[in-house]
Every structure is written in C-alpha cells, then in structure tokens.
Amino acid sequence: MNTTLKYGLLAGVLTSAVLVGLHFISFELSQSFSGQLFFGLVFPIIFMVLAIKVERQNQEGFISFGEGLKTAFLVYMISALIIGISQYVLYQTFTDDTWTRIVDMQRANAEGIMKMVGGDQVAMDDALDQEFTIDKMKSSMSGIGAFMIGLFGNAIIGLIVSLIVAAIMKRNPNA
C-alpha cells in the first residue's frame, strides 16, 4: 500500500474514532474548537512525520523538501477527508436536543467574546437570537456545503502544517 495512503487512512480513522468516542464521553469537549483543533492536528501531524520517515528510508535516508511536502500534504488531506466524512455522518444522527445543546454552547461562547469587547447587551441579545438558531447551526455544520468549506479550510491549514513538517524533516544528500 502506498505510504501516503496508509498513513492518511490511519490518521483519519484514528482521529475520527477519538472524536466520535469523545462525542459520547464528553459532548462539550467534542464540540469545542480547542478539542477539535487539537485532535484534528495532533494525530495527522504524527502520521505526517511517520510517513515522511518511511519515504526517507525508502530513498536511502534522503528526502527533498518537495517530496516531504507532497507526502505530508497528501497524508493530511486523506486524513481530513475521512474526518470530514465521519463528522458528516455523526451530525446526521444528532437529535433536536443535541442541536439545542450545540446552539447553547456556541451562543455562550459568542456572548463571552462580545462581553470581552464591550458590546451593548441589547444589541448582543438581538444578534445572538438571530444568528444562533438550530436551523442555522444545522446548515452551517451538517450540510454538504459545510463539508466542502471544511475541506477547503483543511487544505489551507494542511498546506501550512505540511510546509513546516517538510522543512523540518527534509534531508538532502549533499547536506
């Protein structure tokens, strides 16, 4: 099996399993930005590094920046695709009660930010009432459009992370 495919699948399946498991263990953490960012980056980065190491071994201990970048980016995107599909499937199982909990959590986060910057309470309440509804939350998180936007965002993040990983992991024969 191709190294990038192997490690991308491993990263995606492992991350998806952790995120789905977290959904049942600690729903609030599974929906938090920091939780998703942590698990969505840590596991893929580990597998990006492992894939580059294998590719470097296959090339007699050397790997160029370009080869490392390609390997890391493909691992990240395969992982992101699997994670996105698993989240899409998971979101389809949410009940109205689950969506209400998500709306309440997102609303509380937004309200905290608005209070930090000194927003007017009446204006904040109006904005929060308009923006944080179950229908808007469902459409922004669980639709095909949200899935595609997520992939695009992951491509940008994946490219940045891949550039860093490839720069660190490269080993040229004349160095």
- Residue with more model confidence, 40 or 82: 82
The b-or-e profile of 17-51 (16+ CB within 10 A means b, else e) is: ebbbebbeeeeeebbeeebbeebbeebbbbbbbbb
pLDDT of residue 91: 85
Q: Residue 131 in contact with residue 109, Cβ under 8 Å?
A: no
pLDDT digits (tens, 9 = 90+) for 35-80: 777 887 888 999 999 999 999 998 888 899 999 999 999 999 999 9
| pTM, entire model | 0.81
Domain map of the chain by residue range?
A: 3-169
